[in-house]
Amino acid sequence: MQFLWKNKFHYEKIDSTQNEIWRLYEKNAPSGTLVMAEIQTEGKGTHGRTWHTDEAGNIAFSFLIRTNCKIEKLKGLTVEIAKIIVKIFKTDYKIELNIKQPNDIVYNQKKIGGILTQTKVEKEIVKALVIGIGINTNQTIFNKEIKDTATSIKKEFDVNVNTEEFIEKFCNLFEKDITERIEN
């Protein structure tokens, strides 16, 4: 691995890994900076929704990539991220998950994970790419708003996922994809 996973921050509890990455971006954090958390009190989902990370042991992380690439080079990136996540669960845990495009990981039409991709663009050039990933690996209790639409790896398969190993493997696989996109 070249740059992802080198500059990482781990929090027991934080408002949002996505918020923290943007705060670190403003403080000139290097490309590849990664923030992970056990619990998020205000996790970010798409369209301004909340991503619930109420129990420890779930996967919640965001990372920063500084770049100077044209926005077109990032087309389909969120789906590629979802494919990497599904691949890890299949190869390492023998779990078959599906992708609800563009950014949800599902099992039996229930959401297990989501991807939030945000950019800072200046004149059609992406200066910063911030990606947040949340996966319900250990969550067993869901609040009333999402209990019928969300599930977890633990609840469906009774499998324990090592959060740090999963994130490190994801970073290794993803880094190859993003490096090809932004350097070519």
Neighbour-count burial of 132, counting CB atoms closer than 10 A to its CB (0-12 exposed, 13-18 middle, 19+ buried): buried
Q: Which of 21-25, 41-45, 69-73, 167-171 has the lowest mean pLDDT?
A: 41-45
> Which CATH number fits the domain 8-183, given the four candidates 3.40.50.300, 1.10.1040.10, 3.30.70.270, 3.30.930.10?
3.30.930.10
Neighbour-count burial of 2, counting CB atoms closer than 10 A to its CB (0-12 exposed, 13-18 middle, 19+ buried): exposed
Residue 24 CA to its chain's centroid (Å): 17
The residue count for the chain: 184
Band (56; pLDDT cuts 50, 70, 90): low
Rounded to whole angstroms, the Cα distance separating 127 from 65 reads: 8
> Are 135 and 155 spatial neighbours (Cβ–Cβ below 8 Å)?
no
Q: Which amino acid is at 84?
A: I
Average pLDDT over residues 11-36: 94
Dihedral sign from CA coordinates of 26, 1, 18, 184: positive
Q: Which residues contact 148 (CB under 8 A, 6 or more apart)?
A: none
Rounded to whole angstroms, the Cα distance separating 78 from 97 reads: 16
3 state SS of 26 = helix
pLDDT for 58 equals 87
How many percent of the chain have pLDDT more than 70? 91
Task: Tell me the backbone φ, ψ of residue 40, rounded to 5 degrees.
Answer: -115, 130
> Are 69 and 125 spatial neighbours (Cβ–Cβ below 8 Å)?
yes
Residue ranges covered by each domain of the chain? 8-183
170 closest CA partner among 178, 180, 158 = 178
Rounded to whole angstroms, the Cα distance separating 21 from 65 reads: 10
pLDDT for 46 equals 59
